[in-house]
Amino acid sequence: MSLVHRVAQSIGFIEFVFRRRDSAGDIFPSDAPVGTVDGTRPIRVLVIGESTAMGLGVATHSLAVAAQTARRLARITGRGVLWASVGFPDSRLRTAGAIDGSSFAGVDVVVVMAGIVDTLCVTPVAEWKRNMATLLDDLETRVPAHGQLVVAAIPPMDNAGSISRAARIAAGIHARRLNSATRSTASGRDLVDLVDFPAALTEDLWVPKSEQGTYRQMYSVWAEAFAGAIANRLRETVARG
């Protein structure tokens, strides 16, 4: 049995990395997960995935990663952005296929944020790779030829301060394995860009608290990375004519 699975069994490994220490429970936005940044030739961006994609820790979607990505992208490109976010039913990649197909109508860019929960649930690498391939196959049929699929890397779980040290060691190993499987699966897919977890968020143990400010800042840094990847792809598309 691997180190990951031994630790998983011994410490009750489903310690959700963003679990708070307050008694109020997890905070999620109560408003609609859609919005618009005014401007010409709007870019349609859809963020899908686990709880982080749906604004865990903030009370309004305007502070979550989709809206923050949209605002940054609009500033970089000078264009409008239509944004939305949709969560996986159980925050795991295996349920990505349950997202209603209508959510993808007219979308130019899909951002995929997944893997924290799958890491903590010790999803087998082969299963993760199979599910990622299925998702990317599906998404490639849903975006246009000039579109883009942005896949966020799983954060460095060995630096996740809200779980025990033993869990961090095991989770770090497994997250790297899943990230490697993602890179292998994405290789050769022209529409796919992988985005690493921002280095600025890994300098210390990343421990989002119940305060909105910490989550808002985390999403802001993540959004900057996503917007940069999308803008780079748009510039390359223009350059190619």
Q: What is the pLDDT of residues 55-103, one digit of tens each?
A: 988 999 999 999 999 999 999 999 999 999 999 999 999 999 999 999 9
pLDDT surpasses 80 at 175? yes
Note the pLDDT of residue 157.
83
pLDDT digits (tens, 9 = 90+) for 115-141: 998 998 889 999 999 999 999 999 999
Residues 183 and 172: beta-carbon distance below 8 Å = no
Residues 219 and 62: beta-carbon distance below 8 Å = no
pLDDT confidence bin for 156, thresholds 50/70/90: confident
Note the pLDDT of residue 210.
45
Alpha-carbon 204 to chain mean position: 20
Cα distance between residue 112 and residue 98, in whole Å: 14
**DSSP class of residue 18?**
T
The Cβ of residue 165 has, within 10 Å, a number of other Cβ atoms equal to 8
pLDDT surpasses 90 at 239? no
First to last CA, the chain: 53
Torsion angle defined by CA atoms of residues 197, 54, 12 and 2, in that order, rounded to the nearest 10 degrees: -40
Domains of the chain: 3-14+37-240 (3.40.50.1110)
Using a pLDDT cut of 70, give the percent of the chain over it.
82
Note the pLDDT of residue 215.
83
pLDDT digits (tens, 9 = 90+) for 15-67: 433 343 333 347 899 999 999 999 999 999 999 999 999 998 899 999 999 99
Mean pLDDT of 195-214: 68
Note the pLDDT of residue 106.
97
Using a pLDDT cut of 90, give the percent of the chain over it.
66
The Cβ of residue 118 has, within 10 Å, a number of other Cβ atoms equal to 24
Q: What tokens does 114 get?
A: 């997944």
Note the pLDDT of residue 14.
41
The SS3 of residue 85 is: strand
Mean pLDDT of 175-204: 92
pLDDT surpasses 70 at 9? no
The Cβ of residue 195 has, within 10 Å, a number of other Cβ atoms equal to 18
Q: Where are the alpha helices (DSSP H) in the chain?
A: 3-11, 65-77, 116-120, 125-140, 165-186, 212-240
Residue, of 24 and 146, whose pLDDT is higher:
146
Note the pLDDT of residue 240.
78
Q: Which amino acid is at 80?
A: G
Mean pLDDT of 160-165: 65
pLDDT surpasses 80 at 3? no
Selection from 224, 201, 238 nearest residue 73 by Cα:
224
Note the pLDDT of residue 2.
55
